[in-house]
Structures are given as structure tokens and as C-alpha cells.
Amino acid sequence: MPVSAETERLLVLTAALAFGVASAASVFVPQSNKRKTALVSSAISVALLLTVAAITVRWIREGQGPFLTLYDVLLSNLFSLALVYLTAYLLVSALRPAAKVVLPFLLMLGVWLLLVPAEAIPLPATYDNYWLWLHVISGKLFFGLCLTAAGAASILIFESVRDLQRAHATSARVADIAVWRLMSMAFICESFMLIAGAVWAHSAWGRYWAWDPLETWALMTWLALALLLHARVTFKRLPTTYFLAGVLLVFAVAFLTFLGVPFMSIAPHKGVM
Amino acid sequence: MMRQFAKLGSLKLSAILMLPLIVTVFAVNQLNYVSNNWVAIPLALLGVNLLAAISTNSSFRRQPALLAFHVCLLLVVVLAGLGALLQYDGHVELVEGEIFDASRVEVTDRGLLRHSGPESLKFEQGRIAVEYAPGLIRQSTFSDVMVNGEAGYTSALRFGDRANMTIGGYRFSTSFNKGFAAILKWTGNDGSVLLGSINFPSYPEYEWKQINDWTTPGGENIELELVLSTAADRTGAWRLQSEGSEFAINISRSDGQTTRLLRGESLSLAGGQLTAADLRLWMGYRVDSNPMLQWVFIAALMSLAALSLHFNKKYWNVGQRHGTEAREQQHACVSGN
């Protein structure tokens, strides 16, 4: 029996609260506290489970995945971003300080989600194929990796950038390496997102590329990331902070692509709906 | 000479040339008067830069996966450009029972090197059906066609939303644009008989204005309004199909006189007699052909595979160099967090 929209809203509200708890713990609990990692990761896990529950009840009620509306995209991104960051948080300790940036961002998404209309738009039959899944999953992986890298880059810029100048390996050095690994993986995911998106568009609308706003911004994100990765290898003498600031810039373009451009109108790829 | 060529392949120049590409892409998106063809200029410059870099930069020879990535990327650009020159794109509306006629395709894009269209294709439009969920939410679309092969045999095909029909290198995709077509018979006063169709606006989207104008072979302008015996069901599941659809056609003449014709009924007009013969469905198809598309796809996947290999090797090496330090540091971080 389908669960009501009110229950779904309650799940989203509770998830946002859990992200709030995780954010507060990441910011206010001292680094020296041995239970900080367990506390933060537990709060993210609870928020993640509540988000999964909200997606599940919505999926059952509407009979389709969260693909079309701003509400859908925010909800699914809340899940995917939290999952990517939780994985990074548990596996790479150097990325844990980034929680101070990433978790408040997720809290902001949760609050935003509570403020937008939750009505669903039926998924057109031509949209529903495997390429849609590949396109969406690779896009969400890209955005998650980019957010994690941007979080770590912010911390490196504002807190530990001086450590990077030292000859010896430090936590900042490890975090810096992790940032570029994440951005490289993000580039692979973004590239695959564009390929899968073109195949999907060819199937859904009969054309693989039409320079619609979302496609163009996705290409600009890819080009900006390509430029950043290329520049870091080429201009080695420039200060590290320049490239870390570049990570933030790429994330800003990605944010506009994923959560700005598609919703200046009603739905993603509005031009062809 | 070689030194000049090496300068042309400078990696710093690549980074600099990426900026105008980003700016041009942004301009294409933001400024209506900037054609997307402008993107070709920075892309061509980057292509020359890349060719020069591959030829002169030894780092590519030391990193074969990186070389493969860039070569495949160049291939994607070249093949996509070639595809644009060979592209064919158009729209056509076909009525149930109609034989495909390439001259009726409204061509929207034809590449400079594309000299012919789908003239040789032969097929007959069969039944069309579209299923709707309650609330008139479009579900599956079905289109049956009979295709005449080279050997003269006829085969039946069914396609729709999730599967297109590709024959002779041309892809036919069903669209949301479909509706009713009145089959009309015109019997001239000289005894000549013509059978044709009048396509009414897309249904059920324009259910409220199923009207079209027509000039008869006798030269009289008339307005035709389709009146269906049953409207689209908005409350339950519904199927759009021509079978079982009862109809009438209101014919309005220039003098203001309106006559209703039921199936098989006729009306005398200037120069002949018009008979409402039948009611069928028409489907709007997108017709496209791009022989390079599959090669662009393959090149893009290969570039991605090569880049993945390159990053894997690069980080494996990084892991070797920094592994001990990193492990120690990560251990310290875990302990301190």
C-alpha cells in the first residue's frame, strides 16, 4: 500500500535533521575526540537511510524513479552525494576534515528540498531505458566526487595550505593527492555521463546532441574540469592554491549544471519536453 | 621547422586554447545569434595543437594510454564533424495504409556531403496504437509497418517508444505527434476518382480543435471538423486507435452552410462529390541518418577506457611513491580523528 506524501515529507525532514546533527558534530566536536568519526559517520548513515526510505516510498507511490522535477533531483542527489561522501569519509581519513564543508552543503540541500513543490511529473515512455540509468548514475557519481574534492580543497585552502609548502608528507599532502584522485575519477564519470546522455537522447528524442542548455552546461563542466587537470600537469610552478581554487570553480559550474540550469524552467532538458 | 612545430604542440598552448573553446560554448548557449558552427574554430585549433603535441612531445610516447586517449578524442571530433556533413534529418507524417514517399519528408537538416535521401525505401504504414494510463498519461506507442525487401519479400515490423525502425540506414522514430486522418474520396464531375487523407491536429492534445482547411480539386475552399462519437477517456486506461472509432465530419463552405457527413455519406460540391470514406490514424515520424554515429560512440568509449588506464597507472605509481608515507599519514589521521 503506497505511503502518503506527508509521511515522505516527514522522512525528508528527519533526514535533514540528521544531516544537521552530522554537520554540527563535524564542526563542533574537537578533532581530539576519539568518538568523532563514529558519531559523524553514524549521523550520515541515519540521514542516508532516511533518504533511501523517502525515495522508496515516493517511488512506490508514483510508480517511477526520481528523475524529472527539482524535488526528484534534489532528493536523489541528497542520497547519492551522502553515499559518495560517507564512502570517502570511511575509507580515506584525509578526507574527513572536508565534512565541515560537505555536510552543511547536504543540510542546505535537505532544507531546499523541504521548500520545493513535491508534485511528480509522469516520466515519458521514451525516457525509460537503461541509458537513462547509466547517464544518471554516472552524473551523480561525478557530482559526489566533485563535492567531496571541493570540500577537501576548501579545507586545504582555508586551514592547512601552509602544510603543502613543507617538504615532508603531511595530512595536507595526502588530502591534496586525494583531491586530484577524486577529480580524475570525476572526469571519467563526467565523460561517461556525456556519452550515455548522448545515447539516451538519441533514443528518447531522436538526436544525440542539440546544444540545449543542460547539454551545453554539462559540456562546459567537462571542459572546465579537463582544463583544470591539464593545467595542473602543465603549469607546475603555479601555487597549489590556484588549482585548489580551480576545484571549487569546477564544482560551482557543476552545481549550476545539476541544480541551476535545468530548473530555470520546469524540468531538465526543458527545450525538448 | 621542427622547432616551430614543437611550439605549436606546446601543452601550455593547449590549456590556453581550451579557454576560447569554453567561451565559445558559453556564447552558443547564451547568445542566440552565435551559431554552434563557431565551436569548430577553437576545436580545429586544438586539433592542430594536439597533432603537433603527439608528433613532438616525448611524454606521449612514454605514456601510451594517454596517447591513446588523445588520439581517440581527436577521432571523436573528426568523426562527429564528418557525421555533421553526412547528416540527414527530417519529419514525415504517415497515415495507416499509406505507402512511404520520400518526397513528403520535410527535411530539417542535410549535411553538405549528403546528396541523397531515403528515396529507395519502400514500406507501408500498418496499424498505429497509443496506450494511455488514467489521466491521459501517454504510455506505449505501437506502429506496424510492412517492409518490402530487396528480394521482393514483405516483412512485418512493430516498433515504438523503446525500439526504432532502421531500414536502409535511415532511422524512423515515432513521436508524440499523432492524430486522426479522414480518408476522403473525391469523384469529379468528369468521372475521375481521387482518394486521399486530411490529417487533423495532434490527438488528444488538440482534442478541442479537430479542424483543418482544404481546397478541393474543384477549387472550393472548405473547412473540415472531425467529430468523434467517443472522447478520449481521462479517467481510466485508454487506447488511441482507429479501429472502432465512429465519426462524423462537419463540412463548412464559404457561404456559411455546414453539412455533417457520416461514414460513407457524400456531399456535392463545386466540380464534384466528396465522400467520407474512413477514419484512420496518422503518426509523425522523425527520420534521421548519420553513418558516423556508431564510430563516434566507439571512439568515445575507447578514449574513456584509455583515460581510465592512464589514471590507474598514474595513481598506481603515485601509490608506489607515496604509499608508505601516505599509509603512515592516514594511520595518523585515523588515530587523531
Q: What is the pLDDT of residues A254-266, one digit of tens each?
A: 999 988 877 665 4
pLDDT band at B244 (very low <50, low <70, confident <90, very high): confident
Q: Is the model's pLDDT at B39 over the cut of 70?
A: yes
Q: d(Cα A226, Cα B298) in Å, to the nearest integer?
A: 20
Examine the domain organization and report whether A70 and A178 are in the same domain: no
Question: Mean pLDDT over residues A221-239, rounded?
Answer: 91
Q: What are phi and psi of B196, to 5 degrees?
A: -155, -175
C-alpha cell belonging to residue A59: 517511488
C-alpha cell belonging to residue B182: 479522414
- B window 245-284, beta carbon within 8 A of A: none
Q: Which residue, A88, A118, A148, sits at the end of a domain?
A: A118
A213/B333 Cβ within 8 A: no
Examine the domain organization and report whether A62 and A185 are in the same domain: no
User: How far is the CA of A234 from the CAs of A190, A231, A237, B13, B68, in angstroms?
Assistant: 22, 5, 9, 10, 19
Q: C-alpha angle with apex A258: A214 to A100, nearest 5 degrees? A: 160
Examine the domain organization and report whether A253 and A177 are in the same domain: yes
As for the ipTM of the complex, it is 0.86
Which CATH number belongs to the domain containing residue A68 in this structure?
Answer: 1.20.120
Nearest chain B CA: its distance from A37 CA (Å)? 6
CB pairs under 8 A between A and B: 120
Confidence at residue B9, expressed as pLDDT on a 0 to 100 scale: 82
Examine the domain organization and report whether A264 and A146 are in the same domain: yes
In this prediction the pTM is 0.85
pLDDT band at B313 (very low <50, low <70, confident <90, very high): confident
Taking CB atoms and an 8 Å cutoff, what residues of chain A touch B301? 195
Q: d(Cα A15, Cα A13) in Å, to the nearest integer?
A: 5
- Candidate from A171, A177, A230 with C-beta closest to B333: A171
Examine the domain organization and report whether A163 and A261 are in the same domain: yes
Handedness of CA B157, B231, A128, A257 (dihedral sign): positive
Examine the domain organization and report whether A61 and A169 are in the same domain: no
If you average pLDDT over every residue of chain B, what do you get? 86
Taking CB atoms and an 8 Å cutoff, what residues of chain A touch B89? 207
- B window 152-211, beta carbon within 8 A of A: 161-162, 164, 171, 173, 175-176
Q: d(Cα A215, Cα B25) in Å, to the nearest integer?
A: 10
Q: Is B205 exposed, middle or buried, given 0-12, 13-18 or 19+ CB atoms closer than 10 A?
A: middle
pLDDT band at A32 (very low <50, low <70, confident <90, very high): confident
- Domains contained in chain A, number: 2
Asked if B158 and B147 touch (Cβ cutoff 8 Å), the reply is no
Confidence at residue B318, expressed as pLDDT on a 0 to 100 scale: 56
User: Which of A184, A215, A242, A253 to probe by mutation at the B interface, max B CB count within 10 Å?
Assistant: A184
Q: d(Cα A111, Cα A114) in Å, to the nearest integer?
A: 5
pLDDT band at A165 (very low <50, low <70, confident <90, very high): low
Q: Which residue, A67, A92, A118, sits at the end of a domain?
A: A118
Q: d(Cα B213, Cα B254) in Å, to the nearest integer?
A: 11
Question: Mean pLDDT over residues B126-134, rounded?
Answer: 90
- Candidate from A125, A211, A227 with C-beta closest to B141: A125
Q: Is the model's pLDDT at A42 over the cut of 80?
A: yes
Examine the domain organization and report whether A137 and A106 are in the same domain: no
Taking CB atoms and an 8 Å cutoff, what residues of chain A touch B26? 216, 220
Identify the helix (H) or strand (E) that includes residue A142: helix A130-155
pLDDT per residue over B59-97, tens digit each?
888 889 999 999 999 999 999 999 999 999 999 999 999
Range of the domain at A65: 1-118
| List of residues 6+ apart from A200 with CB closer than 8 A | A127, A129, A131, A132, A134, A135
Nearest chain B CA: its distance from A68 CA (Å)? 15
Q: Is the model's pLDDT at A190 over the cut of 80?
A: yes
Examine the domain organization and report whether A45 and A105 are in the same domain: yes
